[in-house]
Amino acid sequence: MKAIFNSRIIDTSKPLIPSSNRAFCYGDGLFETIVTGPDRIDLIGSHLGRMERGCQVLEMDFPAVLTEEYLREAINQLAAENGIKGSMRTKLMVWRNEGGLYAPEESSSNYLLECKPATKRFFRSAEEIGVSEVYHTHWSPISFAKTMNALNYVLAGKEMTRKGWDEIILTDYQGHISESHIANIFWIANGKLYTPPSSTGCIEGIMRKVMKELAANTGIAIHESLLSIKELDTLQSIFSTNASGITWFKKLEERQLENPEEFLTPILKQLLRP
């Protein structure tokens, strides 16, 4: 496969980074996953905005070349290089240049852009979601962003696999629903739509942001609300959102849930191009 490293086309089968790479040694970097295609609305600008904001928090230079126009052209170039047609899943990574230990000596950065086919349906179902007994989120100045240190999510994913679930919910340290190990969480209760506030430490997902904006356009209010795990039996529906789309869950730890498609139809019509 071909990728773009600092504006150069490279072959991903060849070694790219030295052992002193700060993303490898310290997780000192950020990434964005962007799904584009003929039936998707364009969210490239929102992804770049979150990454630039993350770079500011990390006091790391955001590569000036990464404009919306450049990224669209680069994605099209990689699609042609790799023979990809239709929807694509693009991963953009930015990390700090080598130098220093925990305290970095550099603010300059590198970037890498990779593209693969995106095959998931935008709106889909999964069987069962459960709540982690061990892993939690916490708020920090960088918790809104996707960082290259994802061990908490990796370990939650291992717990999910052991328990035979399709997804797992992480709570904050006060026992409030925060997010899943790969997505933001929404729920419907008493005919109203909710999502956790960013104070729980959840990533401020781009699809989460767009859902809130488009819901407002249709007169549907999305309430940012704290939900205790003790209140889960009051929910009608649970679904998650990330760059690939929306997943609703048929069961919450064996309790049956409702399909939210009818409720979400006004929003779905805006999310997908006709």
Fold of 2-117: D-amino Acid Aminotransferase; Chain A, domain 1 (3.30.470)
Place of tokens 């790479």: 21
Q: Tens digits of per-residue pLDDT, 25-42? A: 999 999 999 999 988 899
Domain extent listing, the chain: 2-117, 123-271
The answer on pLDDT for 102 being more than 60 is yes
CA distance 17 to 22: 10
pLDDT(274) > 80: no
C-alpha–C-alpha distance, residues 6 and 119, integer Å: 27
Among 3.30.540.10, 3.20.10.10, 1.10.220.150, 3.30.43.10, name the CATH number for the domain at 123-271.
Answer: 3.20.10.10
Look up the pTM and report it. Answer: 0.95
- 273 pLDDT tier (thresholds 50, 70, 90): low
DSSP state of 154: H
End-to-end CA, the chain? 31
Q: What's the pLDDT tens digit per position in 191-219? A: 999 999 999 999 999 999 999 999 999 99
Q: Do domains 2-117 and 123-271 have the same CATH topology?
A: no
Amino acid at 136: H
